[in-house]
Amino acid sequence: MTRRRTLSLLLALPIVPALAGCVMVVEAPESEPNTEPTAVSSSPSDGCLVEARPELQTFGDCDELIVEGTDITIEVGAVGMVVVRGDRVEIDANSIGSLSIFGQDNDVDIDGDVGSLDIAGDRNEVDADGEIGSVTIDGNDNEVDAALLGPLTDNGDRNRVNR
């Protein structure tokens, strides 16, 4: 390989993560949670590398956040789409475009608005300081709080939706 071609390849490598956007997938093993929380910081500019750990993880703004596992705590900025597939996941976010929860005992707090919310599980809590555009609940004993709520579809029992 010539020196010019090698230099071109090396210069192009930092561009690849930037073009990939920010997609985070967080998976934690089904083990006992760590009792000493630590933080992992990430942002869209560094490719949002996420290590699978059941402890506090902190991120900036991103397009997607997919969380799979148990006993995971995440702080994140503005997110386009959040999918939770697990139990006892806690997320604090600035705003979320769409939030889908599949699991039990999850807790999501949003400082701003949520475009849409879909819950398929039991005993989940969602608290938005702003508006939630639309809410669909397929489960029982869930609680949703928001300053304003759009259309609501409740296909479960004992769900509490507060405006």
pTM of the shown model: 0.73
In angstroms, the Cα distances linking 118 to 61, 65, 123, 137, 155 are 21, 15, 14, 6, 11
Q: Are strands 107-110 and 114-120 parallel, antiparallel or unpaired?
A: unpaired
pLDDT digits (tens, 9 = 90+) for 19-70: 234 455 555 545 444 433 333 334 433 333 344 566 688 888 989 988 888 8
Is 144 within 8 Å of 159 (Cβ atoms)?
yes
> What pLDDT, on the 0 to 100 scale, is given for residue 1?
52
Separation CA 133–CA 153 (nearest Å) = 12
> What pLDDT, on the 0 to 100 scale, is given for residue 136?
98
> What pLDDT, on the 0 to 100 scale, is given for residue 163?
82
Which residues, including other chains, have CB under 8 Å from residue 1's CB and lie 6 or more apart?
none
> What pLDDT, on the 0 to 100 scale, is given for residue 21?
42
Per the listing, tokens 């889908």 go with: 100
